Amino acid sequence: MAAPSSRRRQVPFLVGLVLILAALPVGWFVFLRELPPPTPPPAPVPTVAAAEAKKAVELELSDIEGLVEVRHGVAGAWAPATKGMALRATDVVRTGDGAYAVLVNGEAVEVRMASGTEVSVEELTDSLSRLLLANGMATTTVRSGQRHTFELTTGSEVVARTGGGTFTMTNNGKGTVSVGTRDGEVALLGNGKVVIVRAGQQSIVRPGKEPTEPAPVPGSLLLKVAWPGDKALRQHELVVTGKTDPGNRVEVEGVVVHADNEGRFERKVVLPEGPSAVKVRAMGVGGLVGEEKRDVVVDTKPPKVRLTPEAIWKTTTKGVTTTGAPP
């Protein structure tokens, strides 16, 4: 009878032992296990500064000579330009007689303005430059490989466009526009028609007309001046008239004269007393230059009259010359 009693006493012991052994892992996990380091708080998100506005594309006056003026904005006043000045959309540049200016848009575009020329900036982006030639002559070089398009317009329906090359455009301010290409090719749009003006060619757009078919630049330039018949002038003013090819640029004594749609021009020149040399110069978009010069003498002084007593009383009657004294 003792054995069963002993086994009954062993059962609680075994159960307790099993419970203790089962609790050991739990106790180790709860009390003895090295706790991982606390998770650091999330790093503060850096405040992102507002992105700077993208710098506006600008033209630069890289070179100027003589009287060059700039007007900033439509309501701005004309002021002397300075080398390195930046130009943006709506700015206007003009050159005086005997002056010139060079505009650049980075490495992509260079525009050379001749004297007596006015250009306004219409649009500037990384991929497009659009300028307006109000009057005068401008030569543009667009470097290939820059993925840049250049447009030169006259404010009407005439637009010259190129992605690479060199061309010259003139505008007489009265609707006659001429384009000559020296390198590459230019798409010339006028009154709904587009022609491609390639290197060595030129085309003319007259008021209300389509561009002429591109033709080779002529080997000579027309310039005829109607000089006075007598080189001796009795007044200080001389009206110089003449004719050249339509679209050519004309200078009379260094002053730009805008020829009409047929190439006729006229300018009144004021000359000093004594000898003068009057020069007339014409330039075409193909690079041709013509010049005429005339030497004149202005003498407005009355002729000297020399009288003697004998000459005063000398008379001629019926072909007989007699000399007498006063009564």
CATH number of the domain residue 147 falls in: 2.60.120.1440
**Cβ-proximal residues to 74 (8 Å cutoff; 6+ apart), any chain:** 90
Task: Return d(Cα 325, Cα 58) in angstroms, integer.
Answer: 91
Residue 239's domain spans which residues? 223-298
Whether 250 and 191 map to the same domain: the answer is no
Q: Answer yes or no: is 145 within a domain.
A: yes
Domain end (from 186, 216, 246): 216
| Mean pLDDT on 200-206 | 96
Overall number of domains in the chain: 2
| The pLDDT of residue 22 is above 90 | no
The whole-number pLDDT of residue 57 equals: 75
Q: Which token pair is 135?
A: 């009057």
Question: 37-41, 142-146, 204-208: which range is least confident on average?
Answer: 37-41
Q: Answer yes or no: is 117 within a domain.
A: yes
Question: 131-145, 266-280, 306-320: which range is least confident on average?
Answer: 306-320
Q: Answer yes or no: is 115 within a domain.
A: yes
Whether 190 and 86 map to the same domain: the answer is yes
**Cβ atoms < 10 Å from Cβ of 104:** 17
Task: Return d(Cα 166, Cα 200) in angstroms, integer.
Answer: 11
Whether 235 and 210 map to the same domain: the answer is no
pTM across the whole model: 0.75
CATH number of the domain where residue 240 is located: 2.60.40.10
Strand segments, DSSP code E, in 28-176 are 59-65, 68-71, 79-80, 86-87, 92-95, 100-105, 109-113, 118-124, 128-142, 149-153, 159-162, 165-171
**Cβ-proximal residues to 324 (8 Å cutoff; 6+ apart), any chain:** 313, 315
Task: Return d(Cα 115, Cα 44) in angstroms, integer.
Answer: 62
